[in-house]
């Protein structure tokens, strides 16, 4: 629009428009406030007030010749519309507009970015869920449960109930401006193709009878054009379909774009895009030092191997601890008593909602379907990982999975603790927890896993040689480690006091009794336990380093082992493998030598704990 012979210009605008002249320090305005027509000068105009009518903001550019005479005038007509895609950016449960850096997500209490929950619970108890396929219940609820990837992660329902909204995160699209503009332009909500199978978005559409919730984004649906856009808010509800995992960091972005569409069949040109980012909340494992809510135990009554005496002791303990006891029938568990090996409890948390999620191991014995059928329910989620080809080992059982209480390691805080996984030594082959399970645990990030050496055990589970108990001092807990050295020291002490003939295993059926004297002279047993102690000492050093522990944070629990081939079993019931219920501990009875009317192992264990 610059006329021939023009050498300077000036700019004037209506009140809502701000004019910025961008120039080099060498370029100055002329005496009459006009600017020279230099190529390095840029004029930028901004509008901060939403237009009421189309073209209600004007910018006038006047061009002048050498004599200062006005040669020509150009007019720029502006319509300002406000488009904002908003989420709970500050993680305080409220969706605010005008947030800064909405496409950025940072960790920590001072971080920013919205959180998304995987909708992995079953809010409709009458509806039957399956891992795959469909099933219609007597209530007529039709649910399609499909894993988002070949490795099943969680039951995800396409059947929508308003109770599901409580699990979802809110996303608001706010638009303001003249309605005539939105008649000529499109507003599109979209998600990257790489993120689409991890989420589902519902649009809340107001109607006379009741709100409708239309699925608009998700697997195979990457964009959604809004109808009848005007000044106001559109509410969307977002749910996660997959937990963080290998190849998926947990970050998901959504964008709203204003498109200029010259004619009906054209794709449209983006004029403006606003982007927000969610992080899918990780699965968080709970340490046993937290106050317990409920204990699950299996009842075994059929056959000669009944656990009724164990259950009686447990009922008494749970009453003292004031904790709910759920006894699972033998029919439900299909005679599989090892519930600790089958499942692990954790939770997911967002500012608007927290609920427990059970992680089902790929061990898949009698308890295979128990968590899915009996624990999954309203506000109780479910997740699992299955290795391809079903190649699992004993190390896939969740007795081989633990988590520390909160720790600080070399100045780095782990406020949710660190996950412990039993493995072979770093340089050796051997049994190992399935890669899909380890990948899942590492991908959650917030409880950075530590792999420790458990393959020296026959069963290979970390819970056979370590646990954590709460304490009132120091770091708020103690690490308990099984210790052959502590056991030999105790037995030698009792022998020196004249109790060498006191006998181990009195009252334990099917086990040959052995006196303290016999145990202490058994060179083969001594060699076995020397090896075991070296294995535990290796872990002691790793745990001190990776959990930031000192010797004062560790208690050695007397325990002997015996090698069967190259791997070890506990010689007597393993006292470290205890049930921790706050201040109440359910310690396996060791059937140790009775000295002065009391089992010396029990006496030492109590003294160390108390």
Characterize the bridge pairing of strands 232-240 and 561-564: unpaired
pTM of the model: 0.88
- Domain extent, residue 262, equals 82-123+158-280
Characterize the bridge pairing of strands 223-225 and 185-190: antiparallel
Where does a domain end: 265, 280, 295?
280
Residue 413 covered by a domain = yes
Spatial contact of 354 and 348, defined as CB atoms under 8 Å apart: yes
Look at residues 319, 321, 320, 329 and name the one whose alpha carbon lies nearest to residue 297.
329
Where does a domain end: 20, 47, 78?
78
pLDDT for res 127: 54
How far is it, in rounded angstroms, from Cα 87 to Cα 171? 5
What average pLDDT does the chain have? 89
DSSP code, position 204: E
Percent of the chain residues past pLDDT 70, beyond the cut: 93
CATH number at residue 41: 2.60.40.1860
Considering only residues 7 and 134, tell me which one the structure prediction assigns the higher pLDDT.
7
Domain total of the chain? 3
Q: Are residues 421 and 564 in the same domain?
A: yes
Confidence at 126, pLDDT banded by 50, 70, 90: low
pLDDT for res 160: 58
DSSP code, position 111: -
Question: Coil, strand or helix: which one is 248?
Answer: strand
Residue 521 covered by a domain = yes
Q: Are residues 42 and 171 in the same domain?
A: no
DSSP string over 573-605: --TTS-EEETTEEEPPP----EETTEEHHHHHH
Beta strands in 17-93 (DSSP E): 17-22, 35-36, 42-47, 57-64, 70-78, 82-86
Q: Which H or E run includes 384?
A: strand 381-384
Q: Are residues 164 and 25 in the same domain?
A: no
Q: Which H or E run includes 311?
A: helix 308-321
Q: Are residues 424 and 556 in the same domain?
A: yes
Encode pLDDT of 562-595 as tens digits. Answer: 999 999 999 999 999 999 999 999 999 999 999 9
How far is it, in rounded angstroms, from Cα 422 to Cα 449? 10
How many whole angstroms from its chain centre is CA 46?
42
Contacts 24+ apart (CB under 8 A), 322-325: 323/292, 323/293, 323/294, 323/295, 323/581, 324/293, 324/294, 324/295, 325/294, 325/295, 325/297
pLDDT for res 155: 47
Q: In the predicted model, is pLDDT for residue 360 greater than 90?
A: yes
CATH number at residue 599: 3.75.10.10
Q: Are residues 71 and 88 in the same domain?
A: no
Longest Cα–Cα distance in the chain: 122
Encode pLDDT of 260-294 as tens digits. Answer: 887 777 778 899 999 999 999 999 999 999 999 99
Across 52-66, 228-242, 257-271, least confident range: 257-271
Residue 97 covered by a domain = yes
CA–CA–CA angle 530, 534, 536 (5° rounding) = 115
How far is it, in rounded angstroms, from Cα 302 to Cα 354? 39
Q: Are residues 501 and 573 in the same domain?
A: yes
Q: Are residues 216 and 253 in the same domain?
A: yes
Q: In the predicted model, is pLDDT for residue 140 greater than 70?
A: no
Q: Are residues 68 and 104 in the same domain?
A: no
Tokens of 148: 């988002």
Residue 321 covered by a domain = no
Encode pLDDT of 369-400 as tens digits. Answer: 999 999 999 999 999 999 988 688 999 999 99
CATH number at residue 119: 2.60.40.1700
Integer CA distances (angstroms), 19 to 16, 27, 30, 459, in order: 10, 17, 17, 75
Residue 255 covered by a domain = yes
Q: Which of 150-159, 225-234, 382-391, 596-605 shows the highest mean pLDDT?
A: 596-605
Phi/psi at 379 (5° precision)? 55, 30
Mean pLDDT within 161-186: 88
DSSP string over 460-480: --GGGTEEEEE-SSTTSEEEE
Where does a domain end: 78, 102, 134?
78
Residue 150 covered by a domain = no
Encode pLDDT of 301-338 as tens digits. Answer: 877 788 999 999 999 999 999 999 999 998 888 988 99
Q: Are residues 465 and 570 in the same domain?
A: yes
Encode pLDDT of 88-104 as tens digits. Answer: 999 998 998 777 889 99
What is the three-state SS of 123-186? CCCCCCCCCCCEEECCCCCEEEECCCCCCCCCCCECCCCHHHHHHCEEEEEEEECCHHHHHHEE
Look at residues 197, 253, 254 and name the one whose alpha carbon lies nearest to residue 224.
254
Residue 427 covered by a domain = yes
Q: Are residues 353 and 427 in the same domain?
A: yes
Q: Are residues 553 and 602 in the same domain?
A: yes
Across 21-30, 45-54, 434-443, least confident range: 21-30
Compute the Cα dihedral for 400, 406, 409, 414 and give only its sign: positive
Q: Are residues 50 and 86 in the same domain?
A: no
Residue 248 covered by a domain = yes
Considering only residues 546 and 508, tell me which one the structure prediction assigns the higher pLDDT.
546
Residue 479: count other Cβ atoms within 10 Å of its Cβ: 20
Phi/psi at 77 (5° precision)? -100, 130
Question: Coil, strand or helix: which one is 431?
Answer: coil
Q: In the predicted model, is pLDDT for residue 132 greater than 50?
A: no
Confidence at 463, pLDDT banded by 50, 70, 90: very high
């Amino acid at each position: 629009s610059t006329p021939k012979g023009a050498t300077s210009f000036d700019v004037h605008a209506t009140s809502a428009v701000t004019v910025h002249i961008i120039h080099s320090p060498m370029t100055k305005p002329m005496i009459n406030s006009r600017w020279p027509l230099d190529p390095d000068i840029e004029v930028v105009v901004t509008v901060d007030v939403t237009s009421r009518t189309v073209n209600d903001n004007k910018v006038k550019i006047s061009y002048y010749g050498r004599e200062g005479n006005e040669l020509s005038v150009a007019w720029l007509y502006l319509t300002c519309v406000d488009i904002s895609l908003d989420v709970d950016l500050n993680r305080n449960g409220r969706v605010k507009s005008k947030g800064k850096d909405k496409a950025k997500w940072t960790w920590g209490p001072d971080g920013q970015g919205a959180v998304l929950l995987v909708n992995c619970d079953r809010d409709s108890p009458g509806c039957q869920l399956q891992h795959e396929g469909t099933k219609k219940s007597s209530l007529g609820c039709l649910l399609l449960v499909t894993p988002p990837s070949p490795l099943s992660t969680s039951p995800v329902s396409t059947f929508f109930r308003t109770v599901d909204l409580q699990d979802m995160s809110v996303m608001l699209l706010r638009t303001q401006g003249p309605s005539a503009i939105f008649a000529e332009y499109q507003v599109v909500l979209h998600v990257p193709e790489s993120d689409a199978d991890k989420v589902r978005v519902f649009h809340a559409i107001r109607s006379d009878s009741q709100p409708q919730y239309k699925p608009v984004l998700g697997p195979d649906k990457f964009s959604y054009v809004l109808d009848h856009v005007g000044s106001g808010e559109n509410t969307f509800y977002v749910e996660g379909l997959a937990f963080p995992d290998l190849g998926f960091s947990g970050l998901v972005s959504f964008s709203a774009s204003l498109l200029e569409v010259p004619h009906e069949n054209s794709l449209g040109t983006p004029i403006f895009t606003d982007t927000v980012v969610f992080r899918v909340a990780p699965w968080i494992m709970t340490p046993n030092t937290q106050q317990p809510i409920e204990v699950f135990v299996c009842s075994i009554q059929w056959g000669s191997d009944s656990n009724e005496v164990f259950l009686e002791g447990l009922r008494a303990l749970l009453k003292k601890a004031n904790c709910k006891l759920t006894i699972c029938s033998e029919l439900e568990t299909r005679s599989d008593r090892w519930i600790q090996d089958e499942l692990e409890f954790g939770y997911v948390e967002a500012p608007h909602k927290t609920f427990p999620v059970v992680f089902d191991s790929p061990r898949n014995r009698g308890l295979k379907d128990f968590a899915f059928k009996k624990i999954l329910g309203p506000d109780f989620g479910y997740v699992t990982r299955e290795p391809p080809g079903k190649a699992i080992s004993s190390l896939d059982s969740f007795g081989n999975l633990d988590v520390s209480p909160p720790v600080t390691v070399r100045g780095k805080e782990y406020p949710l603790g660190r996950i412990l996984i039993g493995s072979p030594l770093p340089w050796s082959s051997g049994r190992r927890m399935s890669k899909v399970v380890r990948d899942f645990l590492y991908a959650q990030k917030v409880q950075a896993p530590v792999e420790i050496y458990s393959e020296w055990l026959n069963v290979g589970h970390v819970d056979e040689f370590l646990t954590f108990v709460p304490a009132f001092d120091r770091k708020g807990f103690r690490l308990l480690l099984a210790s052959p050295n502590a056991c030999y020291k105790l037995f030698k002490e009792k022998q020196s006091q004249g109790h060498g003939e006191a006998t181990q295993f009195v009252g334990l059926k099917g086990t040959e009794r052995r006196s303290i004297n016999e145990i202490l002279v058994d060179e083969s047993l001594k060699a076995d336990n020397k090896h075991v102690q070296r294995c535990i000492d290796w872990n002691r050093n790793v745990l001190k380093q990776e959990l930031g522990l000192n010797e004062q944070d560790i208690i050695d629990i007397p325990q002997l082992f015996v090698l069967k081939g190259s791997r070890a079993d506990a010689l007597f019931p393993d006292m470290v493998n205890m049930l921790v219920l706050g201040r109440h501990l359910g310690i396996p009875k060791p059937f140790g030598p009775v000295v002065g009317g009391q089992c010396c192992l029990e006496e030492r264990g109590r003294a160390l704990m108390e």
